[in-house]
A and B are shown apart, each in its own frame.
Chain A
């Protein structure tokens, strides 16, 4: 066991309230950057600490305590999106906007764009500006498309996992991701990459 891991596991022995001081912000940043909803992220963090408290005896110390907490949080986030998907109406692709219709002519050639982007914009920007921009773009994206994009690009889940969570077929998943990427890229192009 390394010194850092020993120190990390020592913190696991502390009172649970100390966990909040040591890991609260780290967990919150993880949850926020994967849900883009501050209230949901706060709830996820609270639920993670409560779950850790009740299942602490199962922590064997063979990984970092923080890693264990993040593992619990990941499952909480997946449960959150699974619940939302169950509560959403059944997917109907015909009702979902297809941005390709505005981007390409009948022959499949580009009608407009892509716009040229400046290089390395994030080096001059603060992270909160980036997340505010992504959030505003997601809010204007149709809900199902936004969910698919969030699960794939913010949570790095495989398409197979996304299909299970959203209760959709793999071909529908590809369509949702394709349309979501076109909408998000267009929005981010205007608000972030060409500002």
Chain B
């Protein structure tokens, strides 16, 4: 196992590739080594799942924002600005 890990990337390297893989496709040779490491390393695969969970939760709460709204005061200020700019 240790020999196998030495043939591939270190966990620190895998962490960098995991971040890169969130933004773009990894080149195939790197992707193969990255995938093999994740299959054998619980910590690195956990780290990847956590980054994906963070991304998932951000998306979830961006779609569920019912508690946020403009104050009435701010709405009135915007309306006043629009009235002034529409020449009323």
Q: A interface vs B, CB < 8 Å?
A: 16-17, 19-21, 24-25, 28-29, 32-34, 42, 45-46, 49-50, 53-54, 100, 103-104, 107-110, 113-114, 116-117, 121-122, 126-128, 130-131, 134, 152-154, 158-159, 174, 177-178, 181-182, 184-185, 188-189, 193
Contact = CB atoms under 8 A, between A and B. Distances in A.
Given A114-B43, A114-B47, A174-B23, A20 B15 contact: no
B20 A178 contact: yes
Contacts of B22: 177, 181
Given A16-B86, A49-B82, 12 more contacts: A29-B69, A50-B81, A110-B43, A113-B43, A114-B43, A122-B57, A134-B58, A152-B23, A174-B19, A178-B20, A181-B54, A185-B47
Range class of the B interface residue count: 35 or more
A177 B46 contact: no
A141 B46 CA distance: 23
Contact of A127 (B15, B68, B82, B86): B68
Contacts of A104: 10-12, 15
Interface of B: 9-13, 15-16, 19-20, 22-24, 43-44, 46-47, 50-51, 53-55, 57-58, 60-62, 64-70, 74-75, 77-79, 81-83, 85-86
Contacts of B58: 134, 153-154
A127 B50 contact: no
Most chain A CB atoms below 10 A, which of B20, B23, B75, B78: B78
B54 A185 contact: yes
Contacts of A174: 16, 19-20, 23
A174 B85 CA distance: 43
A73 to B, nearest CB: 13
Given A42-B70, A152-B23, A122 B46 contact: no
A10 to B, nearest CB: 18
A110 B65 contact: no
Given A110-B11, A131-B61, A20 B79 contact: yes
A105 to B, nearest CB: 9
7 closest cross-chain pairs (CB), A and B:
A108-B10, A108-B12, A29-B65, A178-B19, A104-B12, A25-B69, A17-B79
Given A16-B82, A42-B70, A122-B61, A100 B12 contact: yes
Given A108-B12, A185-B50, A188-B54, A50 B60 contact: no
